[in-house]
Amino acid sequence: MPTWFITGCSTGFGREIALKILSRGWQAVVTARNPADVADIAAISPDRCLALPLDVKDRRSIDSAVAAAIDRFGSIDVLVNNAGYGYRSAVEEGEEEEIRTVFETNVFGLTFVTQAVLPHMRARRRGHIVNLSSIAGRIAQPGSGFYAGTKFAVEGISDALRKELQPLGIGVMLVEPGGFRTDFAGRSLRQSKEPIADYATTSGLRRRENSRIDGNQPGDPVRAAEAIIQAVLAEAPPFRLVLGADASRRLRDELKAQLRELEAWHQVAVDADFPV
Q: Which of 61, 134, 144, 151 is catalytic?
A: 151
What's the distance, Cα to Cα, between the start and end of the chain in Å?
59
Q: Which of 10, 61, 89, 133 is catalytic?
A: 133
Q: Would you call 20 a catalytic residue per the annotation?
A: no
CA 9/CA 264 separation, integer angstroms: 46
Q: Which of 144, 147, 188, 192 is catalytic?
A: 147
Measured over the CA atoms of residue 63, residue 224, residue 40 and residue 188, the dihedral's sign is positive
Q: Would you call 256 a catalytic residue per the annotation?
A: no
CA 276/CA 274 separation, integer angstroms: 6
Q: Would you call 147 a catalytic residue per the annotation?
A: yes
Parallel, antiparallel or unpaired: strands 127-132 and 78-81: parallel
Catalytic positions: 133, 147, 151
